[in-house]
């Protein structure tokens, strides 16, 4: 089991550009959440996708959008990049009806640097 995989691992973009980050969930998982982690801070929830719909959203502007595909993989898109968008972007997968004891599995993240 490959766990949660994210690509790319590192990325450098220029202010104003757009970026797409990708996530493949753990085998069998149907729910994908995205988090942003600034240096020295804990991860902050961006949004969650289930059944190809955005279900929950954190306090992030509309420049942040996403998509979930029928195979449960997901993309995070960020438009009009700002310097402050530089962070580690984490994807977590889980089961909608996992029952007692299920937990979220995180990928290793994509390090985005905006210059």
Partner 1 sequence: DAKTTQPNSMESNEEEPVHLPCNHSTISGTDYIHWYRQLPSQGPEYVIHGLTSNVNNRMASLAIAEDRKSSTLILHRATLRDAAVYYCILSGTNFGNEKLTFGTGTRLTIIP
Q: For binding to partner 1 (CB under 8 A), which residues are involved?
A: 4, 31, 33, 35, 40-45, 48, 50, 56, 58, 90, 92, 94-109
CB of 102 to partner 1, least distance (A): 5
CB of 78 to partner 1, least distance (A): 19
CB 47 within 8 A of CB 104: no
* Nearest-angstrom CA–CA distance, 19 and 11: 9
Measured from the CB atom, the residue of 2 and 100 that comes closer to partner 1 is 100
CB of 86 to partner 1, least distance (A): 16
Q: How deeply is 62 buried, as exposed, middle or buried, from its count of CB atoms within 10 A (0-12, 13-18, 19+)?
A: exposed
SS3 of 17, please? coil
Closest CA to 98 of 58, 55, 50: 50
Measured from the CB atom, the residue of 17 and 56 that comes closer to partner 1 is 56
CB of 21 to partner 1, least distance (A): 13
Measured from the CB atom, the residue of 75 and 95 that comes closer to partner 1 is 95
Measured from the CB atom, the residue of 20 and 44 that comes closer to partner 1 is 44
Query: Which tokens hold the place of 28?
Result: 């069998």
- 98 CB contacts (<8 Å, ≥6 apart)? none
């Amino acid at each position: 089991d490959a766990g949660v995989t994210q690509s790319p691992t590192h990325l450098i973009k220029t202010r104003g550009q757009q970026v797409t980050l990708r996530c493949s969930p753990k085998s069998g998982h149907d729910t994908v959440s995205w988090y942003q982690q600034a240096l020295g801070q804990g991860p902050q929830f961006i949004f969650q996708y289930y059944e190809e719909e955005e279900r929950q959203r954190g306090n992030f502007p509309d420049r942040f959008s996403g998509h979930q595909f029928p195979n449960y993989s997901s993309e995070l898109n960020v438009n009009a990049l700002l310097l402050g968008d530089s962070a580690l972007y984490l994807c977590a997968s889980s089961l909608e009806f996992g029952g007692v004891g299920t937990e979220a599995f995180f990928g290793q993240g994509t390090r985005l640097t905006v210059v």
